[in-house]
Each structure stands twice: as structure tokens, then as C-alpha cells.
Structure 1
Amino acid sequence: MNDLWTALQKDSSPILLYGMGNGADKILSVCKRKGIEISGVFASDGFARGNLYRGMPVLSFREAKERFGDFRVLLSFASSRPEVLETISLVAGERTLYVPDVPVAGENLFDKDFLDAHMQDFKRAREILEDDLSKDVFDTVISCKLYGELHFFDRNLSTEEEDFNTILHPGDYRICGDFGAYSGDTAKDLARRCPLLQQILSVEPDAKTFLRLQKNTAGLPVLPIHAALWDKEETLLFTSGGNRGSGVDAPGKKQTEVQGICGDRLFEKLHADYLKFDVEGAELRALQGLSGTILRDKPDLLISCYHRPEDLFLLPLYVKKHFPFYRLYLRRHRGVPAWDINLYATEKRDCVRL
């Protein structure tokens, strides 16, 4: 079966982008490289204001239907908001809609060539997952990324609440690390979930977002740290966007210097109970910088597993090789594209609690 990009190359129907911004830029770049012509761009009715995107007028969905008749839709933005997902479903009910997968970080593209080149790695990563649901999630994520068909995105989902209740152990957490703390949502959730909580080390590299983190966590047992979690102490170039386009190796014009810090330094005198890694493609480097702490304390881990196409196999294999005492679970939350994919690692033997 063809991947999405091959199917689009063979499709003679007009192809329109649904949405603008960073995601649309990346999709346009892939389409240009693969010889796929984009005929236009539209926004949801009520959001098209007569502006231009890449020289193309941004139409409403109604205008796009009137101008192009039947056409294919490439969703070009991300969302997990129920009302937005409902609007996407309504569009998909009238036109064939695909959800392309383009990397948040790095240059690799998840297509059939990528899958074939790393097939043995994918098989090894799937085999080390602990339960059937994890393996089902793994298979579903591959289908989402490879084919982009909307029906795949409703399969094998969980919620953050379910994951914490069935895999993790928030009742035991005293000291936590929140890496990629953003504006403090995780810290506030941990403060609610963890009755024994003493301190959260919240690391955030984006300067503007860090100010929101400080404001939003005031009064909580949170130590905000303006830095990028890394595998050594060094100054890094950080592309600031206040969104998922930010990162230490993300291309962009808004590059500033930020201090990279080694996580083991943060926990020299602290016992880690829970560590969350959501660092926009720097997860492997961040894990390497915390290897001493992880070996010593065996904390529960949550590792975002979607910023780079290779994360789906590379991160589970790295954790299992270097920290073999962990049991690994994969979960995905509702949203498009196939983001919010979490690898959970716990040394405790009572999972999964249903």
C-alpha cells in the first residue's frame, strides 16, 4: 500500500491546504520536494479574512468548494481541542481529508522509505513494550503517520488521567522534574495529584514562556529554571517561538542564546521520583544528561515520543538498553496529527492497574 505522499503524487484532484503557519510551511516544503502541486489554501468559515498565504488567497471552506469543486484536503495545523476536532470532522465529511506527518524537529520524514529503512528497529521497539495496548498504540501511530487517514486517529486512545491512574504512581512523588515546563500546566497538575509533593524543578528555555511559568506557578512548590535540559553544560542557540516550533536545533530567525544544563547536576542532592521530558526533540540528549540520576533513583519517567520520526523506536530502545529495570508503556492522547505520544517507564511491578 502507498504512503500518503505517494498517493498524492498519483492523485489528479486539486490539493488544498487547510490552515497556515509553521505546519503548512513544512507540508509545502515536502510537497515541492516530491513534485506534489498545491492548488490553494483555505481556513474554516469565519477565519478567512481575505489575506494571502505564500501568494495564495486564503479562502473560506465555502469559497474553496465553489472554486475547486471536488478536492483533497491536507490538514496543516495541530489541535486537540474538541470543538476544533469536530470542525475538522465536518470538513472530512464533505471532502477527502488527510493529516500529513511532518517532523516537529529534525529533517527526517516518516514515509514508506523511512519505515522500510528502520523496519528492524521498529520491530525491536514494539517487542519491548509491556502490554497489548502499548503495541496497539505503536501500530496505530505508524498508520497515522504513514497514511494520514483521519479514521486512524480515533483508535487506541487514553487520557492523561487514565495514564496517571493506571501506570504512574503520583501518590509516591515528592521530588519531580518537569522538563519543557512551558507555562506551568504540568506543575499545576502534579501539585493537584501528588499529596506528598515537596518540590518540582521546572525547566523552560523560552524566555517569554518562562515568565508565564513563573507567574502561573507562584505559590506552588516549584523552582522555575530558565535553561534547556541537555547532556552537558554549554551555551546553546535556541529558536524561540513560544510553541512547538521552538527548540535548540529548530531553524528560524528568532535565535537566542540559552544555557544548556545537565540534569544530573540538578539532582545531585535530591532524590528524583518522577521526571517528565517534553523538550521538543532534545529528549535523547536530556535523558543522557540524567543517566546517573535515573540509575540511582529509578524514578517514573514520562518521555514525549513524537518530535522526531525516529523517536518512536529510538527512545524506547535507548531506555531499555541503558535502564533495563524499566517496564515500558506507550500511550497516545486525542488530537491531530499523531502527537502527544507518551512513553512511560516505571520500575514498579504493579502496572497496569485497570
Structure 2
Amino acid sequence: MNRNADAAPLLERINGLPLLRPWGVPRSLRQVCCVICHEHLGFLPRFCAAYPDLDIRMLMVPDLPEGAPRSFSLPGPDHAREIPVRGVERLGTTPQWAKIFLVPDVVMLAAVCRLMAVYGGGMLYLDGFREPPFGRRPPLPDFFARHASRLQAVFDLLADEASRTTYAARIKALMTGDAGYLPLAPHGEYEHPRIRPRPGDIMIDGGVSDMVGAQIAFAGQVGPTGRIHGFEPIPWMADAARKTLAPWPCYRLHTAGLAERRGQAAFASLRDSSHICAADGDGTVRCELVSIDDVVREEGLERVDCIKLDVEGAELGALRGAEATIRRFRPRLVICLYHRPEDLMTLPLHVKSLVPEYRLEVAHASCDFTDTILYAEVPEA
């Protein structure tokens, strides 16, 4: 009885959340603005034939080429109609029209949604003459019921309204199997305006792969006076990443995974990521493991300013292997919450147990189930 009463605020928030990116266009819509990539403009006549009552007032093209025509001619029953074509920078100036993204690409859609977040968010209908290619997964309808008290505990710890909304939306997305409930933050993954690497920082970067765009950005942020210790367990990925990162001497890459303690484990190696397996087998690689506390001691690090963990579901083990470092230095934390449903509870509660003064925020950065991030910092006195 008491537990249900305690869970009510979060449950009410979950129940009240709207679907922000529904697939399909309601027949009730009339005047609309269509967002469409330049290569897909040829789909417009077919779309208009499918929705003859729609009055398209403007086309916004995210990748509008320089010098491209600023109008698009649509055939009509009596005569062709010219529709203005603009870039998506106009999103904030047309609140009077519902927005439809036609034939959405997941990366371009995320960029558009981040821009919409700058202007206060809102619903974006998706239509593409195909089954939804992203944003769907098997639902977990009883997820909240099974974990209500711990989910409520995390919800109550979050520092701002945007984080609480995103956290509730993550739960609803898991329960329904639809990522369209998740609002995108104005910033990208790892790009929180405050909780990120800074010039001169000593940083621990857990989870690299061979795709090192984020690592190059981190190196630029800490600059020549900073140092980054990165960790990638798969040898061939580490070798490829090390070669690409060679122009940034502040970045040192270790061929090891982060864990609670030093050892070895079998990893399943995918194209751009890897994760620990229960046992060796076909397609697995035997890799070294090390703890952050070991690295800090062996490297003689005088401080750690920022820790980022994107280690494919091994975040809790990596945090347990960093307890002394986190308690001593209280670094800014950037931790992925999306690899396992239970991480929504275990990771924030563990972080708060180590340093109660941590201020916790949650943000989401994609139109799929990836890129929900826990950000933590101790506010400056």
C-alpha cells in the first residue's frame, strides 16, 4: 500500500507522457510543414496522393544544397502549386503548423529533433512508405511494476525537470517498445554543456572501438595540457584506434576492458562494439581487464577530473572498480544508461552511494533506444 503511494508521482508522469514521434499521419491534420531530405523530394507526389486533404505550407530540407531551388512544384487537379523550400533553421518560426518528417533517416532525424528541442520540442510525425526502420523493440510491459520503488528512488534524486521527464520517458519507452516517447536533449551524446571534458583535464575514457570520433573530440576538449587514458579490450580495434589517434599525443589508449578487478574475460566482438560473454566460444576474443583504481595507482595520476563509461553493459563493474578514485577525486561522470534495463536503477543509485553530493542529470540523444546518458557532477561550492 505505502509502496504504491510512494510510486504515484513517477507513475503519473509516465502515464501522462505523449508519443513525440508517432509513425503515420492522422487524417485530422490539415496545414502542415514537411521535413524531408533533398534526395527524397521525389516521394512528395506519392505522399500528397496518399493524403489529399493535407495542405503543405512549407518544405524544410535539412541538407538543402547551396543554390538549390527555393520552391517545389507539386501537381494539382487544376494547376501546379509552388511550395516554399527552406532549411531547418526555420523550425522555430513556424509553430502554427504540424511537422511531418517524410522518409526519415535516423541520424538526420536526431539532428532535427535536437534543433526542435532548442525551440521547446513538440511532436514530429514520421511517414516513409515502409515499416518503421528504427525506434521499436520488444516491450517490457511489467518493467515499472517489478521495479517501482527503485525507479521512484532514482526519479526523486534527479536534479531538474528535463532529467525527470527523460527518465520517465525511458521507462515508458521500455514498457511500450517505442522509443518515440523519448525527448531529445539540445546537445548530442557526451556533449552536456557542463558535464564534459575541460581544458587540462585528466580523463578516463571507457569504451572506444575503432570509431574514434568521440575520442578526437575529447582530445580537443582537454587540449595539449590534458591527458586521456582510453580503454578498448578488442586488440584489432585498439590497434586501429591507436593509429587514428596518433596525432593527439594527449590520448593514450590501453588494450584492456574496464572491470571491477584485474583479470581476463571472453568478449563477443561486433563490428563497432564488444561485450563480455559468459564463456569462450566461436566468435569470442580473450581480452585483458583492469580496474580504474589500478590504473590511477599504477600511472601515478594525481587526480581524475572526468570519467566516461560506454562499456556495453559492464558499467556497474567498471564503477565498482573505480570506487576509490570516485570517492577521492569526485570526477564528473558521463555514464551510458541504455545497455541494460536495470542500469536505469543500479547505476544512478551506485553513483549516489559513493558520493552523496553528486548532482544527477539524465539526457537522451538519439531517436532509437541508444544514447540515454547519466551525467553527474559535484556542484562547486
Per the alignment, in what secondary structure is the counterpart of residue 164 of structure 1? coil
| 1:348 is aligned to 2:371 | no
- Partner amino acid, structure 2, of 1:205: P
- What is the aligned partner in structure 2 of residue 119 from structure 1? 148
- What is the aligned partner in structure 2 of residue 101 from structure 1? 137
Where in structure 2 are the equivalents of 1:57-96 lying within 5 Å?
Answer: 80-82=106-108, 89-91=126-128
Distance 1:170 1:226, change over 3 A: closer
Distance 1:89 1:208, change over 3 A: farther
TM, length-normalised to structure 2: 0.62
Contact 1:112 1:146 in 2 (8 A): yes
Displacement of 1:173 after TM fit? Answer: 4.3
Q: List per-residue Cα deviations over 1:186-224 (Å, max 9, x = no partner).
A: 221112223464211010012222122111100211111
Distance 1:253 1:162, change over 3 A: closer
Displacement of 1:158 after TM fit? Answer: 3.1
- Partner amino acid, structure 2, of 1:100: R
Distance 1:241 1:144, change over 3 A: same
Distance 1:235 1:159 in 2: 36
Contact 1:233 1:262 in 2 (8 A): yes
- Partner amino acid, structure 2, of 1:279: V
Aligned residues: 262
Q: List per-residue Cα deviations over 1:31-85 (Å, max 9, x = no partner).
A: xxxxxxxxxxxxxxxxxxxxxxxxxxxxxxxxxxxxxxxxxxxxxxxx8421799
Contact 1:173 1:274 in 2 (8 A): no
- What is the aligned partner in structure 2 of residue 187 from structure 1? 215
Distance 2:333 2:285 in 1: 29
Q: List per-residue Cα deviations over 1:138-168 (Å, max 9, x = no partner).
A: 0111222222346424x24332389432x32
| 1:226 is aligned to 2:226 | no
Displacement of 1:90 after TM fit? Answer: 3.1
Q: List per-residue Cα deviations over 1:99-135 (Å, max 9, x = no partner).
A: 4336xxxxxxx61223211111111111101111100
Where in structure 2 are the equivalents of 1:1-354 lying within 5 Å?
Answer: 80-82=106-108, 89-91=126-128, 99-101=135-137, 111-149=140-178, 151-153=180-182, 155-160=183-188, 163-165=191-193, 167-168=194-195, 170-183=197-210, 184-195=212-223, 197-220=225-248, 221-244=250-273, 246-249=274-277, 253-268=282-297, 269-270=300-301, 271-336=303-368, 338-349=369-380
Q: List per-residue Cα deviations over 1:243-270 (Å, max 9, x = no partner).
A: 34x2012787311211111111111111
Displacement of 1:340 after TM fit? Answer: 0.2
Per the alignment, in what secondary structure is the counterpart of residue 198 of structure 2? helix
Distance 2:262 2:234 in 1: 17
CA RMSD of aligned residues (A): 3.0
- What is the aligned partner in structure 2 of residue 23 from structure 1? none
Displacement of 1:309 after TM fit? Answer: 0.6
Q: Does 1 or 2 have the higher relative contact order (CA < 8 Å, sep 6+)?
A: 1
Distance 1:125 1:185 in 2: 31
- What is the aligned partner in structure 2 of residue 105 from structure 1? none
Contact 1:178 1:276 in 2 (8 A): yes
Distance 1:197 1:90, change over 3 A: farther
Distance 2:259 2:247 in 1: 28
Structure 1's unaligned 5+ residue stretches are: 2-78, 103-109
Distance 1:284 1:169, change over 3 A: closer
Distance 1:80 1:298, change over 3 A: farther
Distance 2:311 2:190 in 1: 23
Structure 2's unaligned 5+ residue stretches are: 1-10, 12-104, 113-124
Contact 1:209 1:242 in 2 (8 A): no
- Partner amino acid, structure 1, of 2:266: L
Distance 2:196 2:259 in 1: 26
Q: List per-residue Cα deviations over 1:283-326 (Å, max 9, x = no partner).
A: 00000001111111111010000100101111111111122121
Identity of aligned residues (%): 25
Distance 2:293 2:219 in 1: 23
Distance 2:278 2:244 in 1: 26
Contact 1:98 1:148 in 2 (8 A): no
- Partner amino acid, structure 2, of 1:187: Q
- Partner amino acid, structure 1, of 2:357: F
Distance 1:141 1:83 in 2: 18
